[in-house]
């Protein structure tokens, strides 16, 4: 498998002739481990996958169409509903894209607070991934530990902006809310505890023979394949491409902090697991650095109540927990965006599923879906 499976020319999965050795198995849209309403059609020879086809769209809500009928500010909460386990990151991408369109820039204090919240969100998103991924592979316990820690992050969000899941934490131009009293303390306490907790997860899984057996060599994606298929985020890094938008094209306040980009070599499920675990540690590191020194000053740039960006277009991408989330916003000079295009990382990463799943067993399908870390709200928008 040198060349990546061309997703468009991949064999269509059709019902075989009765009596043939192959069966077609429909996984989803209601299945315990397709993480929502993904439907995968598998052509099986025994338990081995010969071809696969993802059928998506069960959660399509027409977010991009809605954007054209809302003002710039009104659309901001909608982006939270795409990747609903990493709403803060989505919001950051959108706000920064519109700011870029306006030529405005958020004040330094807002940037740092944004960085902290986004990194906390990354930890929360990865924790949910870890829990469900482990659950898919049959480890029942880590999910509860992960949710316990995620709860702490959500509590911080709740205290900050009143919402836990679809936060709408940022505004175009900065922040609406000043941090609450004790924000630094809460984040610091979480970060201090979190170090030990990651150790705990690693003890449960990293060296576990069954875990290693289930993840090593599964769903291999080489660096070239990953790039050709547009895969971004942890799956790309696990394939050995050390690329992270936070370093390559820094946004918010990432240029001020020290952190490493973890990467893998084999591009298999185990490497993706290790990369995400390390990313959580690095996020914690960023949070700790940022919390030390939050600049004082205003939290909102002067952007005015009615946003009328000059005509033009902008593409702005940030490193969301799932990969590169990009917003391509076209303005025609009115209060409503002419077009908002979201580049959804889950959607494009899911495209690699067929390449990764061929030749593996049914049990590996759930491991591969889990390791891609998709959120169907974002795939279908």
Partner 1 sequence: MLQEAYFILSNYIWQIVDGLVIVAIFPLLAGYVVLLERKVMADMQARLGPMRVGPHGLLQPLADAVKLMIKEDIIPESADRAIFWLAPVLSVFAGMLSFAAIPVGPGFLIADMNIGLLFIFAVSSMGIFGIVLGGWASNSHYSLMGALRSSAQLVSYEVAVGMAMVSGLLLAGTLSMKDIVGYQAHSGFWLVFVAPVGFVIYLVGSVAETNRAPFDLPEAESELVAGYMTEYSGFRWALYFLAEYSNMVVVGSVATTLFLGGWLRPFAGTPAFHFLDYAPPLVMLGVTGYCVYRIPKQTGWDQKFIMAIFTGICFVITVPLAAALPHPVAGWQAGVHGAFWFIAKVMAYVYVFLWARFTFPRYRFDQLMQLGWHYLIPLSIVNVMGVATAIVLHREAGWNPVVSIGVTLVVTVLAALWLVRAGERREQATLKSAA
Partner 2 sequence: MKRFKAKFGEAVREAWLDRKQAILVVDAAKLRSICQFAREQEKFDMLTDLTAVDWPKREKRFEIVLNLYSFPKNERLRIKTHAADGEMVPSVITVWPAAGWLERECFDMFGIRFEGHAGLKRILLPDEWQGHPLRKDHDILQQDEAWVHENLGIESGQ
Nearer to partner 1, 74 or 203 (CB): 203
What separation in angstroms does the CA of 43 have from each of 17, 25, 147, 361, 368?
Answer: 12, 6, 35, 11, 16
Minimal distance, residue 92 CB to partner 2, in Å: 18
Contact between 187 and 155 (Cβ < 8 Å):
no
Minimal distance, residue 90 CB to partner 2, in Å: 16
Minimal distance, residue 227 CB to partner 2, in Å: 5
Contact between 87 and 160 (Cβ < 8 Å):
no
Buried b (16+ CB within 10 A) or exposed e, 37-47: bbbbbbbbeee
Q: Give which of partner 1, partner 2, none residue 62 binds (C-beta under 5 to 8 Å, depending on kind).
A: partner 2
**Site residues for partner 2 per CB under 8 A:** 4-10, 12, 56-57, 60, 62, 64-66, 68-69, 100-101, 103, 227-230, 241, 243, 248-249, 312-315, 317, 324, 326, 328, 330, 338-339, 341, 343, 347-348, 351, 380-381
Nearer to partner 2, 32 or 62 (CB): 62
CA 113, 117, 118: angle at the middle one, nearest 5? 115
Q: Give which of partner 2, partner 1, none residue 205 binds (C-beta under 5 to 8 Å, depending on kind).
A: partner 1
Contact between 87 and 166 (Cβ < 8 Å):
yes
Q: Give which of partner 1, partner 2, none residue 19 binds (C-beta under 5 to 8 Å, depending on kind).
A: none
Nearer to partner 1, 56 or 220 (CB): 220
Nearer to partner 1, 115 or 355 (CB): 355
Minimal distance, residue 147 CB to partner 1, in Å: 10
Minimal distance, residue 137 CB to partner 2, in Å: 27
Minimal distance, residue 149 CB to partner 1, in Å: 11
| Alpha helices for the chain (secondary structure H) | 63-67, 72-80, 87-102, 108-137, 142-161, 183-205, 209-215, 223-228, 234-238, 245-248, 269-292, 345-350, 353-357, 362-372, 376-380
Q: Give which of partner 2, partner 1, none residue 214 binds (C-beta under 5 to 8 Å, depending on kind).
A: partner 1
**Site residues for partner 1 per CB under 8 A:** 23, 25-26, 31-33, 47, 134-141, 144-145, 148, 204-205, 208, 210-211, 213-214, 216-217, 220, 266, 361-366
Neighbours of 4 (CB within 10 A): 20
**For 286, what's the count of Cα atoms within 13 Å in the CB-facing half-sphere?**
29
Q: Give which of partner 2, partner 1, none residue 140 binds (C-beta under 5 to 8 Å, depending on kind).
A: partner 1
Nearer to partner 2, 52 or 289 (CB): 52
Nearer to partner 1, 216 or 247 (CB): 216
Question: 136: which 2 tokens?
Answer: 């898919």
User: Beta partners for 52?
Assistant: 42
Q: Give which of partner 1, partner 2, none residue 185 binds (C-beta under 5 to 8 Å, depending on kind).
A: none
Nearer to partner 1, 219 or 233 (CB): 219
Q: Give which of partner 2, partner 1, none residue 204 binds (C-beta under 5 to 8 Å, depending on kind).
A: partner 1
Minimal distance, residue 367 CB to partner 2, in Å: 22
What separation in angstroms does the CA of 169 have from each of 21, 175, 232, 319?
Answer: 54, 7, 25, 17
User: Beta partners for 48?
Assistant: 45, 361
How large is the greatest C-alpha to C-alpha distance in the chain, in angstroms? 73
């Amino acid at each position: 498998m040198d060349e990546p499976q061309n997703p468009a020319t991949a064999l269509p999965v059709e019902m075989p002739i009765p009596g043939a050795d192959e069966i077609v198995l429909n996984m989803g849209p209601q299945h315990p481990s397709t993480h929502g309403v993904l439907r995968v059609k598998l052509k099986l020879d025994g338990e081995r996958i010969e071809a696969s086809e993802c059928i998506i769209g069960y959660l399509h809500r027409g977010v991009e169409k809605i954007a054209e009928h809302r003002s710039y500010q009104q659309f901001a909460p909608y982006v939270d509903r795409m990747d609903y386990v990493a709403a803060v990151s989505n919001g950051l991408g959108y706000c920064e894209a519109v700011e870029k369109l306006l030529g405005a820039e958020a004040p330094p204090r807002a940037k740092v607070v944004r960085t902290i919240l986004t990194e906390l969100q990354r930890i929360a998103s990865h924790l949910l991934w870890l829990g469900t991924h482990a659950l898919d592979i049959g480890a029942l316990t880590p999910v509860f530990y992960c949710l316990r820690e995620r709860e702490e992050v959500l509590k911080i969000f709740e205290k900050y902006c009143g919402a836990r899941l679809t936060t709408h934490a940022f505004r175009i131009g900065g922040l609406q809310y000043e941090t609450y009293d004790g924000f630094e303390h809460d984040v610091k306490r979480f970060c201090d505890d979190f170090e030990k907790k990651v150790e705990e997860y690693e003890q449960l899984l990293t060296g576990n023979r069954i875990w290693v057996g289930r993840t090593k060599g599964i769903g291999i994606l080489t660096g070239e394949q990953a790039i050709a298929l547009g895969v971004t985020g942890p799956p790309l890094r696990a394939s050995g491409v050390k690329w992270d938008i936070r370093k390559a094209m820094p946004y918010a306040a990432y240029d001020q902090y020290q952190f490493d980009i973890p990467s893998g070599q084999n591009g298999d499920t185990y490497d993706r697991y290790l990369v995400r675990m390390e990313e959580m540690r690095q996020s914690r590191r960023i949070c700790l650095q940022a919390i030390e020194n939050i600049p004082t000053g205003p939290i909102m740039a002067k952007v005015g109540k009615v946003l009328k960006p000059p005509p033009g277009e902008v593409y702005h991408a940030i490193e969301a927990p799932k990969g590169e989330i990009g917003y391509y916003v076209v303005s025609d000079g009115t209060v409503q965006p002419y077009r908002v295009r979201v580049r959804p990382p889950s959607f494009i990463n899911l495209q690699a599923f067929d390449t990764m799943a061929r030749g593996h067993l049914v049990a590996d399908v759930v491991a591969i879906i889990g390791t891609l870390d998709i959120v169907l709200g974002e795939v279908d928008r």
